[in-house]
Amino acid sequence: MNNPSAVQSVGRPFTVEKAKAEERIDTSPESVKLIFTYIAFSAFWLVFGTLVGEYLGFKFVWPELDSISWFSFGRLRPVHTNILFWGFLSQAMIALALYVVPRTSQRELYSYKFGWVSFWLINTSVFFGVITLMAGINNGGQEYREIIWPIFLLFALGLILVAYNLYKTIADRNVKEIYISNWYILAACLWTIVLVVTAYLPGYQEDGISQTVVQGYYMHQGVGQWFTPMVLGLTYYFLPILLNKPIYSYSLGVLAFWTQMVFYTMIGAHHFVFSPIPWWIQTLAIVFSVGMFVPVTAGAGNFLLTMRGKWRSIARSYSLPFILAGVLFYAIVSYQGTLEAFRSLNKVWHFTNFTIAHSHMSMYGFVAFLVWGGIYGLIPRLTGKEPPQFTVGAHFWLALIGVLVYSVPLMIGGTLQGLSWMAGEAFIESVTLMTPYWVWRAVGGTMMFLSHLIFAYNVWKMRPDSWQRLRQVTELQTN
Amino acid sequence: MKLNFHKNHKLLFGVVFWGFVALTLIIAVLPATWVQQQNEPLPASEPMTELQRKGLNIFISEGCVYCHTQQVRPIEMDENWGRPSAPGDYARINRQDVWRQTPAVLGSERTGPDLSNIGKRQPSDVWHYMHLYNPRSVVKESIMPSYPWLFEVVENPSDGATTVSMPEGYGPKNGTIIATREAEALVAYLKSLSQVPMDAWPSAAQQAKADSAVASAVKKKVNGATIYANNCASCHQNNGQGIQSTFPSLVGAAYVTEKDPTRHIRAVLYGLQGVTIDGKDYTGVMQPFGELLSDEEVAAVINYERTNWGNDAPTITAEDVTKVRNNDELNKIQPNE
Ligand code: HEM
Ligand code: HEM
């Protein structure tokens, strides 16, 4: 615990000058090739998935955009969420983990071959998932587990292989202590394997609403035991190394870890407050939603205290602003989530567009921003090529303003929807009153989408010159 | 040293993995198993037919669940949708096939109305077909998608085909729309969505109470305009002008403007079908609202019709409705006889 410098001693400290081209760090070409390919594909899924999101958003304003079954709202919505969950965010997080875990274990990745097999499994799964969802074949409309099991099995296998690969890397590490990032990252992989298996196994969720109990658990653990610990783990690496100072408190990270594991697992049923599933599960979920105050404050506080006094470095970096925004969103959405779980407020917000605002502030403001911070922090150092400053800035501001223009109006509109229902107005009122807010969503969504095109361009700009040259350069460096 | 999470990866990840498995059992697998064991259909409910089950599958395939809940919460604001949902309401839903999980009909968003009681609220086939073919043909402000691929356009519909006639501007230029088997299944499913009483052998009083649960909420603030928007506008439209040859206009209509309100009250209490109105026949069917609306509400909505869109007929009171309701003589003779 008193040796947090495992990180610092590992890589060369990164400088954080915005303009300066970085020196490349000496990573094996295999590793660069693997990681960059993951990132490139995740950028593709981001653009594709948010193009779909954008289209869905337009449909709220112009429901007659098309009448083609494959493009209808009910089929494209799970396409949007599943692409972004499994194709974009998961893939990008795994890419970064494939760098961070070996780095902090001071050794090479256990097996590059496994890394490639995982890559193909994950992308094949998402690809066929998209086709089947558009064809109207889905897993009972269960949110985020809509891809039917024969196809999602590929993703699960890919994930198991990632977990095995990382485990072997950590087991054979060349440092004594397991750095905190690796706790979070490998734990996230293990938890998600359990989660996915539990979500798909038959037997205990066949009849009636038994599936709803599992759905609450799955839906929240998807975000709470996969995305959240993964990006937090990555941030425990990238933040100190980019700032060139140790994390404020290692033990706060450990505290957040254990409380995250216990509390988060219990709160799934807050997605079904007032539903006919057993009342005690709902109450337990609400109580632990309040308990989430502990890991969230410990985690976000730890990051912010690490940043304290370094605001200037952050302003001069082009990856750190993403991390700052991500950490702030993490705190905001989590406190917001606790409020949504209270029965009194759930009444107003449940079933409304407020939930959509929460989903995007969390999955986008929190997870995607931290992932971008990691990508901009890492890739230039791997490939030795920097993206243009201007386009990184454009990405940041369009994405940030975009997500605010998207979610703030939906929060207002969602609240008005809930109040309209409470006042006993005709239902259609709650549809028509949303129109202006849906227009704002389309505007914000367009800004977000543009920022993703810019991100894809930046990824292209950061590409390695050629695998061949990469090898030569590395050889030169090591000799 | 050995039992140190920071140094012993087997210990750390062992605890992380098995601890999570244990928590999963406690919070998900065991409760789900328990719920499954308790699963029992309400005594008054009927098994789903083959056709309705097929309809449910289409409901899931098309992702209707992303906009529609089937979940009435035990809170005041949800009373419009029916009585609070109970586990038994969903007991007859189970796994679709080896590939696909049990449908998640509860939903998580209410972009469109709750459908727990849509079978009661909207029992008209004609309306559902028009609405599915193009929701805006019956509800102008709707943002629900159209589902034209559940229909076919043919030159000469065969006997027995379910034909759908759309208002001007909403149908194809040539040919006749007929509902496919999928559309028929979906509508059969929608019409089957109707809450049944919780008890096995409900007394008549309980039955009535369950049926009017939909209505009871609105009691506190009876507002003719709201009742009209929620119950009548889908057919007669907000402007009262109906839809040509399917749903009649209420503007200046004899039923609505004549001094004696009996016919009007009876139309609302007992529904209307197959009646020629001002020389025109209508293909639509109007369902009875006697069980759904209280006398006070019937009076309120009738007064709303009588005093709107340029109509200027004498208003009525809840007592007038009660009188018609309690008059067995009138009750027996349906208005369309
Ligand atoms: C261009 C940017 C985006 C736009 C325009 C957009 C638009 C939409 C729309 C219209 C919906 C359906 C909302 C509804 O059913 O009422 C939706 C749902 C959703 N989107 Fe996005 N989205 C974008 C980016 C993202 C990203 C990057 C993620 C990250 C994973 C994401 C995650 C989700 C989730 C989780 C839902 C389901 C929300 C819920 O059920 O509460 N979206 N999005
Ligand atoms: C302490 C932390 C959090 C709490 C207590 C919390 C609470 C909630 C609650 C109560 C809902 C259900 C809202 C409703 O349907 O009425 C919800 C939905 C959601 N939350 Fe959170 N939240 C937290 C953090 C997060 C984080 C960090 C993420 C993302 C990584 C996230 C992602 C989502 C998503 C995607 C949904 C939409 C689920 C759906 O209906 O499809 N939440 N949250």
Domain B50-192 has CATH 3.30.360.10: no
Q: In this structure, which ligand is nearest to the CA of A357?
A: 1
pLDDT digits (tens, 9 = 90+) for B81-138: 989 999 999 999 999 889 999 999 999 999 999 999 998 888 888 889 999 999 998 8
Distance from the B42 Cα atom to the nearest Cα atom in chain A, whole angstroms:
12
pLDDT digits (tens, 9 = 90+) for A150-183: 999 999 999 999 999 999 999 999 998 999 999 9
CA distance B44 to B195: 10
DSSP-assigned letter for residue B288: -
Domain shared by A94 and A203, yes or no: no
Please indicate, yes or no, if residue A163 is contained in any of the structural domains: yes
B34 vs A contacts (CB less than 8 Å):
278
Please indicate, yes or no, if residue A138 is contained in any of the structural domains: yes
Residue at which a domain ends, from A114, A144, A178 = A178
CA B328 to chain CA centroid, Å, is: 29
Q: In this structure, which ligand is nearest to the CA of A59?
A: 1
pLDDT digits (tens, 9 = 90+) for A452-474: 999 999 999 999 887 666 666 55
Q: Which of A2-16, A241-255, B86-100, B217-231 has the least mean pLDDT?
A: A2-16
Domain shared by A132 and A208, yes or no: no
- Hey, what are B6's tokens? 């920071």
Domain ranges in chain B are 50-192, 205-330
Residue B331 confidence class, pLDDT cut points 50, 70, 90: low
A282: Cβ contacts below 8 Å, ≥ 6 apart: A269, A270, A272, A273, A274, A275
pLDDT at B256 over 90: no
What average pLDDT does chain B have?
86
pLDDT digits (tens, 9 = 90+) for A347-390: 999 999 999 999 999 999 999 999 999 999 999 999 889 999 89
Domain shared by A150 and A34, yes or no: yes
pLDDT for res B337: 40
Domain B205-330 has CATH 1.10.760.10: yes
pLDDT digits (tens, 9 = 90+) for B32-85: 999 999 998 998 889 999 999 999 999 999 999 999 999 999 999 998 898 999
Question: A143 CB less than 6 Å from ligand 2?
Answer: yes
Arithmetic mean of pLDDT, A133-153 = 95
State the closest ligand 1 atom to the C-alpha of A57, by its place in the atom list counted from 1: 10
Please indicate, yes or no, if residue A22 is contained in any of the structural domains: no
pLDDT for res B213: 52
Q: Identify the CA nearest to A189 among candidates A101, A249, A275.
A: A101
The verdict on a CB contact (< 8 Å) between B101 and A145 is yes
Q: How close is the Cα of A356 to the center of ligand 1, in Å?
A: 7
Nearest CA to ligand 2 atom 22: A337
Q: Which of A307-311, B74-78, B107-111, B203-207 has the least mean pLDDT?
A: B203-207
Residue B153 confidence class, pLDDT cut points 50, 70, 90: very high
Please indicate, yes or no, if residue A146 is contained in any of the structural domains: yes
Domain shared by A78 and A130, yes or no: yes
- Hey, what are A33's tokens? 């090739």
Q: Which of A319-323, B84-88, B233-237 has the least mean pLDDT?
A: B233-237
Size of chain A in residues:
479
State the closest ligand 2 atom to the C-alpha of A144, by its place in the atom list counted from 1: 41
User: Which comes out higher in pLDDT, residue B219 or B269?
Assistant: B269
Please indicate, yes or no, if residue A184 is contained in any of the structural domains: no
Domain shared by A245 and A380, yes or no: no
The verdict on a CB contact (< 8 Å) between B20 and A261 is yes
Across the interface, of A200, A204, A355, the residue whose CB is closest to B33 is A204
Interface of A with B in 278-337 (CB under 8 A): 278, 281, 284
Domain shared by A137 and A203, yes or no: no
Please indicate, yes or no, if residue A2 is contained in any of the structural domains: no
pLDDT for res B269: 87
pLDDT for res A296: 95
pLDDT digits (tens, 9 = 90+) for A5-53: 434 333 333 433 443 434 556 678 889 999 999 999 999 999 999 999 9
B113 vs A contacts (CB less than 8 Å):
427
What is the side-by-side order of every strand in the sheet holding B163-164?
A: B151-154, B176-179, B163-164
A436 touches chain B (CB under 8 A): no
Please indicate, yes or no, if residue A315 is contained in any of the structural domains: no
The verdict on a CB contact (< 8 Å) between A67 and B149 is yes
Domain shared by A364 and A446, yes or no: yes
Question: A50 CB less than 6 Å from ligand 1?
Answer: yes
A70 touches chain B (CB under 8 A): no
User: Which comes out higher in pLDDT, residue A230 or B220?
Assistant: A230
Q: Do domains B50-192 and B205-330 have the same CATH topology?
A: yes
Tokens 């259609």, residue located: A428
- How much of chain B is in helix, strand and coil states, percent to nearest 5? 45, 5, 50
* Coil, helix or strand at residue B8: coil
Domain shared by A234 and A132, yes or no: no
Nearest CA to ligand 2 atom 2: A334
Please indicate, yes or no, if residue A19 is contained in any of the structural domains: no
Structural domain count of chain A: 3
pLDDT for res B330: 60
B55: Cβ contacts below 8 Å, ≥ 6 apart: B185, B186, B187, B188, B189, B190, B192
A202 vs B contacts (CB less than 8 Å):
95
pLDDT for res A410: 98
B173: Cβ contacts below 8 Å, ≥ 6 apart: none
Residue at which a domain ends, from A309, A337, A364 = A309
Domain shared by A161 and A44, yes or no: yes
DSSP-assigned letter for residue B106: S
- Hey, what are A238's tokens? 């990238």
Residue at which a domain ends, from A147, A178, A209 = A178
Domain shared by A331 and A450, yes or no: yes
CA distance B20 to B185: 43
User: Which comes out higher in pLDDT, residue B181 or B270?
Assistant: B181
pLDDT digits (tens, 9 = 90+) for A92-135: 999 999 999 999 999 999 999 999 999 999 999 999 999 999 99
Domain shared by A141 and A100, yes or no: yes
* Probe residue for ligand 1, chosen from A360, A367, A400, A434 as the CB with the greatest number of ligand atoms within 8 Å: A360
Domain that holds residue A221: 190-309
ipTM for the predicted complex comes to 0.90
Size of chain B in residues:
337
